[in-house]
Structure 1
């Protein structure tokens, strides 16, 4: 058995605003969208995420995730320079002892998005 990919599903009651954040700020593309279902698939390079409105089977009061979404990149400096004045910063760019240069922002739902590049 082999796992081929992981595509996180971001639940939100701000469906349109979330799609706009990921497509306009982070430059994702829309791969599929169904407004009746309240669902969209977004992609950028090798990364795919899904956006969904909660349904009756999904207990949902507000966006909650007990972790972060970590994106590896090949040019964290350029990404930092492009995003730092357009987003809500969680922490600024820094080189950490685990040999990663990274920063984190919040998306429009307050999910934490981390971006990092190996310093090795």
Structure 2
């Protein structure tokens, strides 16, 4: 049986430098690697890693988009909300939901929805 050990999504962007700036200056990620020729970068914050790239010529590319969202579990959702609510476009404000998660969501510079949540104790 094969064990899956890690998921690191590769998200498309039309502006790699703008995306790196959003994730490093607003969310506190660091750049692990970047290749200008490939228009690719790998970023990390704590245990989370995301790669970004411009779509390759062989990929069917119409526009940047995602049919879902990216959910980040954090340990201080209220503090993060206070920090991000004026720095990023808000998708929905912080709220405690019936499934016992306190969460909110913002859009990144590409329009991807980034949700941040913490279990309610």
Give the Cα–Cα distance (whole angstroms) in 2 for the partners of residues 107 and 6 of structure 1. 20
**Structure 1: segments with no counterpart, 5+ residues:** none
| Aligned ranges 1:46-85 → 2 under 5 Å | 46-85=47-86
Deviations 1:23-59 (A, max 9, x none): 1110100001101001000000000000101111112
* TM-score scaled by length of structure 1: 0.97
Q: CA RMSD in A?
A: 0.7
Q: After the TM superposition, which parts of structure 1 deviate over 3 Å for at least 4 consecutive aligned residues?
A: none
Partner of 1:19: 20
**Structure 2: segments with no counterpart, 5+ residues:** none
Give the Cα–Cα distance (whole angstroms) in 2 for the partners of residues 21 and 50 of structure 1. 13
Is the partner of 1:31 in helix, strand or coil? strand
Give the Cα–Cα distance (whole angstroms) in 1 for the partners of residues 99 and 5 of structure 2. 27
Partner of 1:87: 88
Is the partner of 1:21 in helix, strand or coil? helix
Give the Cα–Cα distance (whole angstroms) in 2 for the partners of residues 64 and 110 of structure 1. 7
Give the Cα–Cα distance (whole angstroms) in 2 for the partners of residues 106 and 61 of structure 1. 20
Is the partner of 2:81 in helix, strand or coil? helix
Displacement after TM superposition at 1:62 (Å):
1.5
